[in-house]
Amino acid sequence: MNKTKKINFIEFTNADKVGVASIDNQHKSMVETVNKIYNSLLLSKESSALNYLKKFLELVKAHFQTEEKLMRETNFPGFYSHKLEHDRFYKQILNYTDRFHKEFQPIGKEQLEGIRKWFFNHLEISDKKCGKFLHEKGFS
């Protein structure tokens, strides 16, 4: 068996695009980074998993700022509930990062599954609604 084979823990397909390039590209990078965390853990490379988790935290932060800026600029009606979902998720990832970094408790498969679940729920319900609205406002 080829031990270096990479497994896609999360698959990002065209069906997952919201139609606004900046958002889609960030989602794609986030997914790729979660896959790197997963693969690092599979190979027991904990320090690399931690580095990717830190990178993921930064990507999440920048991504939420991007979406929130676009929503504010266009007076998106669902802004507050959308932002609340972002804030909760960010806190969760910050918590996983702190536990890994400061208390040496690596992120586990269950938590990665939680991230995957959150990502697709949020994407399907909130981000697509937001993407559609932005698209109507001329963003692509």
Q: Which residue number, 16 or 67, has a Cβ lying nearer to Fe ion? A: 67
Q: Give the DSSP letter string of the chain.
A: --TT----SS---GGG--S-HHHHHHHHHHHHHHHHHHHHHHTT-HHHHHHHHHHHHHHHHHHHHHHHHHHHHTT-TTHHHHHHHHHHHHHHHHHHHHHHHHH-----HHHHHHHHHHHHHHIIIIIHHHHHHHHHTT--
Residues 109-138 touching Fe ion, rule: CB under 5 A, are 127
User: What residue number has its CB nearest to Fe ion?
Assistant: 127
| Residue from 34, 38, 56, 67 binding Fe ion (CB under 5 A) | 67
Closest approach, Cβ 19 to Fe ion, in A, equals: 12
Backbone angles phi, psi at 139, to 5 degrees: -85, 145
Q: Which residue number, 16 or 127, has a Cβ lying nearer to Fe ion? A: 127
Closest approach, Cβ 40 to Fe ion, in A, equals: 23
Closest approach, Cβ 4 to Fe ion, in A, equals: 31
Candidates 35-43, 62-70, 97-105, 108-116: pick the segment binding Fe ion (CB under 5 A): 62-70
For position 16 contacting Fe ion by CB under 5 A, the verdict is no
Closest approach, Cβ 120 to Fe ion, in A, equals: 11
Hunting for tokens 């040496």 — which residue is that?
104
**Contacts to Fe ion by CB under 5 A:** 67, 127
